[in-house]
Copies of this chain bind each other. A is one copy, B any other.
């Protein structure tokens, strides 16, 4: 093709999946002899409009990256060939092993603005180098899991299946989106690699092209049923939806003779509620009351809520683009920030991007009915009422305990959604959940600002946060 290209798959576990400025920083830390322990926390500065909560996700990939990331010999050769990196840096990368501590809420935990999704405590060069990929993993899966949770809440009792691989932002994005959606309560995915790599149930029906390739729809349905007798979900909207439903009804007795039952049909265009009602009536009248109706095409949580309110006789939904791109808000305003170095708390005060200094912990209180009643962000060494949300994951670069399986994480997410206050289960999610900041943390912020000689008025995080998303 274009000559001596490198295989593109090298990058996934690579330490080089990072920004150049991280390498610059590591160079500078090494040159300045700065080897003390740093504490970084990754958090969302502000929830997007229409997001009352977030579902933490991506921790397993982040942790595996910390445990396994390295530079391959080919990458080290490439670094040397660039002529812009010192031997000291390249040796550091060649010998890299993450030696630090990680604390985090388990995947599936509900989180809010300013609450850490991960806390990394490690020699500063190590903690800095991994920033880009940690954000990359945690941001995207949290984004999609949070979007998926809204869909789960908007369509109680309905089956939800990820159809998004083709329009995800890359293959890796499709794979990780399937995982995040399943974690948040989806029932399965259409994506084959998600079954292979994560054991997620896969579901698939048929394509318009199959029907188009046949001279008539009935023959297409027959051929499909013969080839996939256990997956007979017929796609109805290629030409005329209700006429296709009649075709399925007429075909059913023949199929039954071959021991094949009609499992269901799929609608993929038009007024889904109207078509579902008409098709339901045709199927019921034709003796196919057991056949399920699957709908797809342009579905998001708002459509789900409308169809649910409408009582549309749809049993399950295939959801693609709106899910895997988190289409209304395809990014979160989030940051991985230095909170302490060499035991001293730190913060920056950039306009609209200030944050609380020092390592933090989040304590969550529950009401008598089990619902979440309010959080307090506190200094990490404080003990307060409520459950501490960040738990030890790594100590000295080793797992404290095996990470939960995806199914366990998914169970946890389900329980967390049950614990949401009722108003946060609605799509509008008003009023916001109450997150307080403890007095000690406020006092610490004032002290840190005094020490860094930049105190004017008190700057509280989030208050001035207007813009979309900064970068570091």
Q: Could you list which residues of chain A lie within 8 angstroms of chain B, going by C-beta atoms? A: 1-3, 5-6, 8-14, 16-25, 27-32, 34, 38, 40, 60-61, 63-64, 67, 75, 78, 82, 84, 124, 128, 131-133, 135-136, 139-140, 143, 163, 165-177, 190-193, 195-198, 202-213, 216, 223-224, 226-228, 230-231, 237-240, 243, 268-270, 296-298, 300, 318, 320-322, 324-327, 330-331, 334, 337-338, 341-342, 346-353, 399, 402-406, 452-454, 467-472
Set of chain B residues within 8 Å of A471, measured between Cβ atoms? 163, 166-167, 268, 296-297, 318, 320-321
A469 and B298 alpha carbons, distance in the complex (Å): 5
Q: Which of A11, A27, A170, A327 gathers the greatest number of chain B CB atoms within 10 Å?
A: A170
Q: Are A171 and B12 closer than 8 Å at their CB atoms?
A: yes
Q: Are B28 and A403 closer than 8 Å at their CB atoms?
A: no
Set of chain B residues within 8 Å of A206, measured between Cβ atoms? 21, 24-25, 28
Closest-CB distance, A231 to chain B (whole angstroms): 6
Q: Are B269 and A24 closer than 8 Å at their CB atoms?
A: no
Q: Are A170 and B166 closer than 8 Å at their CB atoms?
A: no
Count this chain's copies in the assembly: 2
Given A166-B132, A190-B21: A9 in contact with B2 (beta carbons within 8 A): no
A242 and B133 alpha carbons, distance in the complex (Å): 32
Closest-CB distance, A43 to chain B (whole angstroms): 14
Closest to A217 in B: B452
A5 and B172 alpha carbons, distance in the complex (Å): 16
Given A8-B197, A31-B227, A237-B351: A17 in contact with B171 (beta carbons within 8 A): yes
A sample of 5 more A-B contacts (CB under 8 A), given A10-B197, A27-B227, A270-B352, is A1-B60, A1-B402, A133-B171, A212-B348, A327-B330
Given A207-B472, A350-B268: A173 in contact with B169 (beta carbons within 8 A): yes
Given A209-B337, A296-B470: A238 in contact with B269 (beta carbons within 8 A): no
Q: Are B167 and A176 closer than 8 Å at their CB atoms?
A: no
A202 and B67 alpha carbons, distance in the complex (Å): 27
Q: Are A297 and B402 closer than 8 Å at their CB atoms?
A: no
Closest to A2 in B: B405
Q: Are B9 and A13 closer than 8 Å at their CB atoms?
A: yes
Q: Which of A13, A21, A349 gathers the greatest number of chain B CB atoms within 10 Å?
A: A21
Closest to A1 in B: B403
Closest to A403 in B: B1
Q: Are B403 and A192 closer than 8 Å at their CB atoms?
A: no
Q: Are A406 and B2 closer than 8 Å at their CB atoms?
A: yes
Closest-CB distance, A232 to chain B (whole angstroms): 10
Q: Are B325 and A207 closer than 8 Å at their CB atoms?
A: no
Q: Are B196 and A321 closer than 8 Å at their CB atoms?
A: no
Closest-CB distance, A122 to chain B (whole angstroms): 13
Closest-CB distance, A233 to chain B (whole angstroms): 9
A227 and B405 alpha carbons, distance in the complex (Å): 43
Q: Are B25 and A209 closer than 8 Å at their CB atoms?
A: yes
Closest to A61 in B: B8
Closest-CB distance, A46 to chain B (whole angstroms): 12
A213 and B28 alpha carbons, distance in the complex (Å): 12
Set of chain B residues within 8 Å of A338, measured between Cβ atoms? 208-209, 212-213
Q: Are A226 and B32 closer than 8 Å at their CB atoms?
A: yes
Given A204-B20, A212-B341, A228-B28: A469 in contact with B320 (beta carbons within 8 A): yes
Closest to A175 in B: B11
Q: Are A19 and B468 closer than 8 Å at their CB atoms?
A: no
A40 and B64 alpha carbons, distance in the complex (Å): 40
Closest-CB distance, A457 to chain B (whole angstroms): 13
Closest-CB distance, A124 to chain B (whole angstroms): 6
Q: Are B167 and A350 closer than 8 Å at their CB atoms?
A: no
Q: Are A19 and B166 closer than 8 Å at their CB atoms?
A: yes
Q: Are A346 and B212 closer than 8 Å at their CB atoms?
A: yes
Q: Which of B128, B239, B331 contacts A452 (CB 8 A)?
A: B239
A173 and B169 alpha carbons, distance in the complex (Å): 6
Q: Are B25 and A405 closer than 8 Å at their CB atoms?
A: no
Closest-CB distance, A72 to chain B (whole angstroms): 11
Closest to A339 in B: B212
